[in-house]
Every structure is written in structure tokens, then in C-alpha cells.
Structure 1
Amino acid sequence: MEFVTVLADKQVKVGEDFTLCCETNTGDFTVTWQKNIQKLYCVEGKHRTGKDGKTVFLQIKKAEMEDEGNYTVTIQNRWGSASCSAMVLVELDEWRIVQWKQDPMINALKSFRICSGDIRELRFLLYGPVGSGKSSIINTIHTIFEGHPHINCPTADLTCMSFTRGFKKYNIRNLPFAFYNLMGLEQGQSYRMHPDDIMSVLKGHIPNNYTFHPHAPIDKDNRHYILNPTLNDRIHCLVSVIPADKISLMSDEVIQKMKTIRAAASKLGIPHVVFMTRVDQVCIMTHRDLTKIYRSRRIKEQMTTCSNRLDVPMNCIFPVRNYQEEVKLNEQLNCLMLEAFTQIVRLADDFVKKSYCFVFNLF
């Protein structure tokens, strides 16, 4: 016995009815259904299974988030058995709106002016695990504004040690924005930054191109130390970078290091957000179509896990995708990154405004 046609993958919206069906070459068999390798227990009014001659079917009423999964049908008789499977993806109601036109966002960022004329540029600090995509974020933003693939910041994958060893500045074309990339957080002691150096970075004591020394944090006796940093020298927004497909696997040690850095920024009043990278690796729907990202059950679950592990509000988490293998620009990818970038620009500008007003009021 065998299948003449097999189950087909489905992508349905919340509340829709759908049917999975396939055809066999015989009508003499018994049928069992599974969902995610577990026996499917039919609920009256929700599921209906059956066969019509050589056709086998499963009907599901009013799709819900919990109906997403891999469905398998097995047919069996005294001559043998056969199975086939299909993936069902359920589109949730969109819970966050993205502008899927890049030009208005690019033009707004190109014409952006910092609230205080004394501040030359807004400064963003990226940090997170090795291979999470920090350097790729910088390259992706460069690519968007250059209009062609751009690689200026070396990247590491999730199995490598960090390429970043020092404190290096990356400007975005001729715009008033600058990124700084800390070395990737790793388990253990090797190549780590001293905690005091992190605070010095946030406060503006560390100059561009400084190389960190794990056992010798920079202090005022170091000739490179910026003794009296101005608001221009400080970090204006902290960006945690987390790979969506590794959130649950990250060690408690690395998570705690990230919380420590976030707490240091919070003490200084510096805003903090999370860029959740590699979203296409955790969700088939998003891999096929990035515009479905805020309809994806899987993405929402990963954002929730990220929120719980890092103690960060959901509205401070931005799923993004970086350029990796592409040789042509992708407007959907650009828009997702531009939405996240626009948010940190606004947060950094607000921080500068508040800090400037505070200093001004002292005098």
C-alpha cells in the first residue's frame, strides 16, 4: 500500500477552518493521526477525521495558535503501512505594525538632526554572545545606506571566539550615528573584559581603538584614559544582541553577564533595547516572508523567552535579520532593520536631550 498524493503544508490565519487530506491506492486500511509525534486526540466540534473511499482527511475548525505543528497520518493493513506528514503554520493577528517601505525611513534618518547642537553623533554600544550578529548589524546598516553589500566589520559565527578584541568605532556613512562593538560574551575567563572596563565604556572614559586587557582594567593612570568625558564621549544607547535560535540554549553565566551590563547602563540612565537576530532560522513563515514576522507564533514565543531571561519588556525587543549570503538588497530585510534602528535613534536622542538639560540646569 502507498500514497498516491501526500499531505500538503498549510499556512492559515487564526479563526480559519482547514483540511489536510491525501489519497491512497487502496480503500482497505485503518488510519491514525499524530501531531508533533504525539497521538492526536480529537476534540468534539474541533477535529473531524475520516476517509472517503481512498481519500483520508483531517478537518480542524477555527485555527488557533496551538494548532500549529507537524501533522502525520499513518495508514495500515495486513500488507503493511505508510505515513506522510505536513506542516501547519498559523498566522496570528498582527501585534506590531511595520512600515514596509524603506525610502521614507531612509530619508528621515538621512535628514535627522540631534536635539542638541553640541552633540556631534549618537553613540550605540552593541554587546551579546559570540556570533550573535553584532558585527553583522553594523554591516547590514552600512549596506542599507550605501545601497550595495558592504563588509567593514569582521564577523564570527556561533562556534568561534570573538573577532572583536578592542573598542572600535564604526560610523554610518556621513550620518550622525556611530556604533561600538564589544567583544562577544563567552563562558569562562578567557578573553573577557573586566567589569570595570564596561562601566568605563558607558561613561566615556575609553577612547576609540583601545585594546582591552582582561586582568588590567583601564584607570585614570592609563595614558589613554579620558579623564573628564563629555556627553559626546558617552554611550547614548545600549543594544543587546541575541540570536533567536539560541536564546533557550544560552548559559546562565552569559545571561547574568548581560544583565550586569544592562544594570550598569540603567544606573547611568542609558536606554537599553534588544535586537533579536537570526529570526529566519526559527520560523519557516518568517523565512519565507519577513512581512509575516509579527504574525508568527514562533517569533512571539522567542521574544517572550528573551523577555523573561533578560528581564526586558517586550516593547524593547526588536526581531531583525542581517545580510549574510545575499548579493542583492532585500527591501523587507531593510525595513525590519530600519524600524529597529529608528527606535534606538529616538531613544538615544531623548537620552542626550535629558542629559543636556540636566547639565544646563546645574548652571
Structure 2
Amino acid sequence: MSPFLSSDKQSALQHVKDYKPHIEGRQLRILLHGPSGAGKSSFINSLQSVLQGRMSTLALAANISHDSFTKEYTTYKIEKENPNTFYPFVFSDTMGLSEYKGVLVDDVKLALNGHVKDDYRFNPEHKLSEGDQYYNTEVNPNDKVHVLVCVIPANTAGQIKGEVIRRVLEIRDVARELGIPQIAVITKIDQACPEIREDLKNVYRSVYLKEKMEQFSVDVGIPMNCIFPVKNYSEEITFNDDIDSLILSMLSLIIDFGEEYMNHKFSQPEVPVTKALTDLELVPGCYTVAAHCS
């Protein structure tokens, strides 16, 4: 089914609006990471714009790619139509990854486990330490990450190599150990391919974009069916159904993956570490099963 049919857009929008975690009091936390200049902040603004029906610039963004514009760990809530009511999911934004500076992998690991407080200013030289005022020692389930999203720019995807890929892989390994579902979002697709820039409906017909997605899948191991192309609202001042459809279909899947993970995670009884290790020793070949797209 084409992702650009208006009925699909309305169905996805309704799915997002109707979403309510099965476990009362839970909040779905989605963590964004990726190279500097990938469009993480613009992605958050685009999501908020589509859901609120008006252009948003809540997350500060810039049209530069050589350095990360985001410096602090920030969590964004999206307000619903009724004032002072919010969607039961939040997006946490991080400083971009880069070859020589940028967010430290150790800080992203801490964020995955809920140890990073909002407004923590990332330091490329030193990781957040226990005892710091921004280190969260009393972690509750809503502080932890339930979906990890790697944001990659299509126009420079082929240039993301070496240290950045190594850091992405290291972050993926930690998320996998925690069972956190992972997806990738490919942004700036219109800048990467003139065919798409001319008509966004060509996104799934573009051989060039498919090759970029396949190469990234090989580089970091994220399956192709967990890599989603989107176009952020960056220069537009009016809404576009094609842009909305890509964003909403991707957000619907993020919600589904996160909800399944939360239901599984919080339905399991807490087992003391010593007992868990003993049990594993008694079960030859025991292994854990990874969640979606891990």
C-alpha cells in the first residue's frame, strides 16, 4: 500500500493520537542519536509540527553539518489539542557523533539506562560521572529508553565511516544487551536525490536512495525493514501530505515497537543479579532473545 494515500495518513495520525500505554503511568521514551548535522532536532520539530498542525521550532536546529548544534540532553514533550495535555511519549535529543569530538558513547549508554538528567551539557572530553548534579541515581521506568533511533543524513551517508560508525555500533551493542528495539531514520532524502526532490512520491522508486540505505544497513547491521526515509520540514512554510505520510507511518511503528518492548520488559519479575547468574549457569546454551530491529 502506498504510504502517500490520504487515507493512510489519516489512519497513522489516528493511531498516534489514540495511543495509550497499556501499563498505567508509563511513558514511552525515544532516544535520538547519530552524526552531527543529521537533522535530529529538525526531526523532532517536524514530528511536533505534524501532530500539532502548525509549524514548530521547539528544538533549536541549524543548517550546518560540521558541528553539532545540540549541546545539552533535552527531552521534548508534544502537547495535544487540549491545553496542558501531552502525548504519552517523549523524544530525548543528544549531541551529535563525530570523528574527533561530539557526544561520548559512555554518555549515550548512561542515557539509555536513564542516568542522564535534562539540561546536562555534553562534554566531548569527559563523561558524566556518578555524583554529578546531572547524574540521575534514582532511575524510574519512565527515565529509561524504550526505543533507540539512529538518525542518518542521506546526502552524506556515504561519508560516514571510521570512528563514527564504530561509535554507532558500540551504542547499538549496549541497546541490544538491554533488549531495546532500534530503528534508523534517513533524513535529507530530497538533498540526496534530485528525483525525490522533484516528487517525494519517488522515495521508494529511487535506486540511489535504496543503495544508500542498503550500505548503511551493511555498515551497522540494522535490517532494511527497520530503516525509514523521511523528509523534515526545513524550508517549507505550509504542510505537505507526502512529508506528513512518511513521518506519521514511521512514528506509528516506533510507538508499536516501544509499546511491545515496555509490555514485555515490565511484565517480567525483577530477579536478583546473583540468582539470575546462578540460573544461567544451570541452563546450558541459555541466551536472550533480542527485540524488534536490534
Q: What TM-score range do you get, normalising by the shorter chain?
A: 0.7 to 0.9
Match of 2:291?
Answer: none
Match of 1:338?
Answer: 248
Greater CA drift, 323-332 or 148-157: 148-157
Match of 1:103?
Answer: 10
State which of 263, 266, 279 in structure 2 corresponds to 1:353: 263
Summarize deviations over 1:229-255 as a string: whole Å, max 9, x none.
Answer: 121110111100111111111231111
- Mapped to 2, the partners of 1:228 and 1:283 lie a distance apart of 47
Match of 2:34?
Answer: 128
State which of 178, 183, 196 in structure 1 corresponds to 2:90: 178
Given residue 19 of structure 2, which amino acid in structure 1 is its aligned partner? Answer: F
Given residue 268 of structure 1, which amino acid in structure 2 is its aligned partner? Answer: L
The question of whether the paired residues in 2 share the 8 Å contact of 1:283 and 1:299 is answered with yes
Provide TM-score, normalisation by structure 2: 0.84
State which of 26, 37, 61 in structure 2 corresponds to 1:155: 61
Residue correspondences, number: 264
- Mapped to 1, the partners of 2:271 and 2:219 lie a distance apart of 38
Across the aligned residues of Structure 1 and Structure 2, the Cα RMSD in angstroms comes to 1.8
Provide TM-score, normalisation by structure 1: 0.69
Q: 3-state DSSP class of the match of 1:308? A: helix
Larger Rg: 1
Match of 1:117?
Answer: 24
Deviation at 1:158? 4.3
Cα gap change, 1:335 to 1:205, in 2 (>3 Å): same
Given residue 48 of structure 2, which amino acid in structure 1 is its aligned partner? Answer: H
Q: 3-state DSSP class of the match of 2:185? A: strand
* Structure with the higher helix share, 1 or 2: 2
Cα gap change, 1:359 to 1:230, in 2 (>3 Å): farther
Match of 2:287?
Answer: none
- Mapped to 1, the partners of 2:260 and 2:72 lie a distance apart of 28
- Mapped to 2, the partners of 1:166 and 1:273 lie a distance apart of 23
- Mapped to 2, the partners of 1:352 and 1:288 lie a distance apart of 40
Q: 3-state DSSP class of the match of 1:154? A: coil
Residue 327 in structure 1 maps to residue 232 in structure 2:
no
Deviation at 1:160? 3.6
Summarize deviations over 1:284-312 as a string: whole Å, max 9, x none.
Answer: 33222222321222221111111112221
* Structure with the higher strand share, 1 or 2: 1
1:162-201 superposed matches below 5 A: 162-173=68-79, 174-188=86-100, 190=101, 192-201=102-111
Unaligned residue ranges in structure 1 (runs of 5+): 1-95
Q: Which has the higher contact order (CA 8 A, sep 6+)?
A: 2
The question of whether the paired residues in 1 share the 8 Å contact of 2:36 and 2:97 is answered with yes
Deviation at 1:134? 0.4
Match of 1:143?
Answer: 49
Greater CA drift, 222-231 or 139-148: 222-231
Match of 2:220?
Answer: 310
- Mapped to 2, the partners of 1:355 and 1:277 lie a distance apart of 30
The question of whether the paired residues in 1 share the 8 Å contact of 2:146 and 2:262 is answered with yes
Given residue 195 of structure 1, which amino acid in structure 2 is its aligned partner? Answer: V
Deviation at 1:359? 3.3
Q: 3-state DSSP class of the match of 2:210? A: helix
The question of whether the paired residues in 2 share the 8 Å contact of 1:99 and 1:339 is answered with no
The question of whether the paired residues in 1 share the 8 Å contact of 2:165 and 2:220 is answered with yes
- Mapped to 1, the partners of 2:267 and 2:201 lie a distance apart of 40
Unaligned residue ranges in structure 2 (runs of 5+): 80-85, 273-294
